[in-house]
Chains A and B, each alone.
Chain A
Amino acid sequence: MPAGAGLARMLVERNITSFRHGWIALVTGFAEPVFYLFSLGIGIGALVKTVTTDSGAVVSYPQFVAPALLAASAMNGAVFDSTFNVFFKLKYAKLYDAVLATPMGPRDIAVGEISWSLIRGGLYSAAFLVVAVLAGAVGSWWALLALPAAVFIGFAFAALGMFATTFMKSWVHFDYITLAIQPMFLFSATFFPLSTYPEALQWLVRATPLYHGVALERALMLGDVGWGILAHVAYLIVLGGIGVVGTARRLEKLLLS
């Protein structure tokens, strides 16, 4: 693990200071999942009355889709920040070159930026959760844990996103991010249960990180809680850990040559 000075929080402070000038960007990230909730949950919910989940429970469509949208919003918030914004800071603003001239090291940058991304993702998730409760799409007190769960999702995606960004050479490469995010958003048992897929495809879906996020949120928000959810948490933490270490190593290679 590359060096750090335990000052990662200073980068978070920097990002908060910067966002005070551009808070509008924060608002747009929140709007998207809310629009989805109303368009899909309420709109399609009028056509599809109930859904049988993979654990056999029968729930309304808005109740089924809301946890998935929560997971997706945590993912989107984290990925957007850790890819586009980080790429700009890395290649154009040269922010990290300036940071590395101080006692801070590559580990501080990785931890600081990823923390900020998941704070941002967490804010989106919290706002979405409030809207989902008000819309009657939440049916269990376990949903209180949906927010900390969203932070694990944000962690995994922010860390992987930033790791991927350190390999990017130009904005064209961001098409690969879209290419990874879009199918995950659509097919990670987000809008229909896993059982809809043939057996072989089910295994593919199970391997994707968003599936674990969706399954975790759905279990909590529907109150369908078992020990199995710890496996989802573990999957997300391991992925995030790989992302943090990978990012710090790449930054060291790129900037401290």
Chain B
Amino acid sequence: MTDDSLPDNEILLSATGLTKTFGEFTAVDGIDFAVRKGECFGFLGPNGAGKSSTMRMVGCVSPVTSGELRLFGLDPAGNGPAIRARLGSCPQRDTLDEELTVEENLWIYGRYFGLSRKEVRSRAAELLDFAQLTDRAGDKVEPLSGGMKRRLTIARSLINSPEILLLDEPTTGLDPQARHVLWDRLFRLKRSGVTLVLTTHYMDEAEQLCDRLVVMDHGRIVAEGSPRSLIDEFSTREVLELRFDAEDHKDFAEQVTGIGERVEVLPDRLLVYADDGEQAAAVVHSRGIEPLSSLVRRATLEDVFLHLTGRTLVD
């Protein structure tokens, strides 16, 4: 169901002043964003930042409190079924139908979209292949591994050939190998032209997958850009991590003052931000400071988040 009249780089999803409140609590506090066709757009932030509430509004399963939200140019209020017909939704918690087999999960889910039996069967065969689950087609869902269930959930969300795929924390709870398999599947989808919108609290996931992302904290967007541009803007190129034999690393912060551009103090280490980490380490050494360990690494989105909010992403 692609609309040929839409030019490339058409904005498929946009929000202006988007707000969601639950009673007194403001989960999403007036955010603006726009997602273009074919890109992978991410919401990065810690738990409770308002990512899932945003995703539920975008998925047309949670009414907008105030502000404007448009998908395919349509307002979710009054166009919910028409919009959802063009979306794929992969929720944070698997909601697979455990009373059905793997392939029945795909068939029946396709039927919820009003697709014909013939259509869902041929589509399901392709998707089982895509999800590497063809040999488990007739099995019950319950004994599948976490990674398999996640892949089945993603396959299920693709049954209606969606134009936008919404992924809420797609790899939370998966082991590293299962995550890489999943990322590979998501890359393939992106290459085939599906627009991806995802939330994550893993900076490596955001860096791997997202063309563009917004950093969310306390229901607000605190920064926006590509992973690279965010790191360039809010961090130095490298970071020197210093660990000391101490209860409180604050005591050591003064000793390293003046090294690098700035220093962040975490409970268990000091982060010295410098474009040349090795050089910073040499200066530390020349001052006679002796950390338990020192490590130079490239700056990540984690550093961007720390700089913007003063907190780490994963507590």
Contact = CB atoms under 8 A, between A and B. Distances in A.
Interface of A: 3, 5, 7, 10-11, 13-14, 17-18, 21-22, 93-95, 97-105, 255-257
A13 B108 contact: yes
B173 interface: no
B187 interface: no
B99 interface: yes
Interface in B58-98: 59, 61-63, 80-82, 84-85, 87, 89, 91, 93, 95-98
Given A3-B80, A103-B81, A98 B99 contact: no
A218 B101 CA distance: 43
B111 interface: yes
Given A3-B81, A105-B81, A255-B61, A17 B100 contact: yes
B244 to A, nearest CB: 47
A188 B114 CA distance: 43
Contacts of B93: 94
B109 interface: yes
Given A17-B100, A18-B99, A22-B99, A103 B114 contact: yes
Contacts of B61: 97, 100-101, 255-256
A21 B157 CA distance: 24
Interface in B101-145: 101, 104, 107-109, 111-114
Contacts of A94: 93, 95
Contact of A18 (B85, B100, B114): B100
With most chain A CB atoms within 10 A of its CB, the pick from B62, B82, B87, B97 is B97
A5 B108 contact: no
B25 interface: no
24 contacts: A3-B81, A5-B114, A7-B114, A10-B114, A14-B97, A17-B100, A17-B108, A21-B101, A22-B99, A93-B97, A97-B95, A98-B95, A101-B91, A101-B157, A102-B85, A102-B113, A103-B80, A103-B82, A103-B84, A104-B112, A105-B81, A255-B61, A256-B61, A257-B22
Contacts, number: 78
A22 B99 CA distance: 9
A100 B109 CA distance: 11
Given A5-B114, A10-B111, A255-B61, A101 B99 contact: no
Contacts of A99: 112
A249 to B, nearest CB: 14
A257 B84 contact: no
A170 B24 CA distance: 27
A256 B111 CA distance: 21
Interface string B254-270: 00000000000000000
A21 B141 CA distance: 13
A101 B96 CA distance: 12
Given A18-B100, A101-B91, A5 B111 contact: no
Contacts of B98: 93
A64 B157 CA distance: 54
Contacts of B96: 98
A105 B100 CA distance: 21
A190 to B, nearest CB: 34
Contacts of A102: 84-85, 109, 112-113, 160
Contacts of A22: 99
Nearest to B94: A94
A34 B109 CA distance: 37
Listed from nearest, the 9 A-B pairs whose CB atoms lie closest are A103-B81, A102-B112, A101-B89, A98-B95, A18-B99, A94-B95, A5-B81, A10-B111, A103-B85
Nearest to B59: A101
A103 B112 contact: yes
Contacts of A7: 112, 114
A95 B93 CA distance: 12
A95 B96 CA distance: 8
A22 B114 CA distance: 25
A256 B100 CA distance: 25
Nearest to B22: A257
Given A93-B97, A94-B95, A103 B63 contact: no
A256 B108 contact: no
Contacts of B114: 5, 7, 10, 103
A159 to B, nearest CB: 22
A17 B62 CA distance: 29
Contacts of B80: 3, 103, 105
Contact of B62 (A5, A95, A257): A257
B48 to A, nearest CB: 17
